[in-house]
């Protein structure tokens, strides 16, 4: 039994809008490929370049990766693009921005 890889596309933002802290790029759409069974991704701001994300099976793993990212601008998202934050290193994740792309 194999799970399909899920992909969430972060649409390109218009050049000159937003800030360098945005996860959306002003040069192209960003494709976030969730490894099999992963529910969350920690996505660095597009400013940093490169792949710029890691995927995770659990909220605790996503929180841990977010803590490792430290002061680097990033967001935690799920396979639908919903954004999350947390109040404690022990979780849980709290939805802060819901998308309509389910």
Residue 54 counted as domain residue:
yes
Question: What is the total count of domains within the chain?
Answer: 1
Contacts of 23 (CB under 8 A, 6+ apart): 10, 30, 43, 44, 45, 46, 74, 75, 77
Q: For the purposes of burial, counting CB atoms within 10 Å of the CB of 55, is it exposed (0-12), middle (13-18) or buried (19 or more)?
A: buried
Domain that holds residue 77: 6-97
For 2-20, write each residue's pLDDT tens digit: 568 999 999 999 988 889 9
For 57-77, write each residue's pLDDT tens digit: 999 999 999 999 999 999 999
Residue 102 counted as domain residue:
no
Q: 3-class DSSP state for residue 26?
A: coil
Residue 1 counted as domain residue:
no
Question: C-alpha angle with apex 66: 83 to 4, nearest 5 degrees?
Answer: 60
Residue 81 counted as domain residue:
yes
Q: pTM for the complete prediction? A: 0.91
């Amino acid at each position: 039994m194999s799970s399909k890889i899920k992909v969430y596309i972060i649409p390109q933002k218009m050049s000159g809008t937003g800030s360098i802290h945005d996860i959306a790029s002003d040069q192209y759409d960003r494709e976030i490929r969730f490894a099999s069974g992963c529910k969350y991704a920690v996505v660095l701001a597009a400013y940093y370049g490169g792949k710029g994300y890691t995927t995770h099976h659990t909220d605790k793993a996503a929180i841990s990766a977010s803590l490792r990212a430290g002061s680097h601008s990033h967001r935690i998202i799920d396979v639908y693009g919903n954004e999350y934050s947390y109040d404690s290193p022990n979780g849980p994740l709290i939805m802060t921005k819901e998308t309509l792309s389910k």
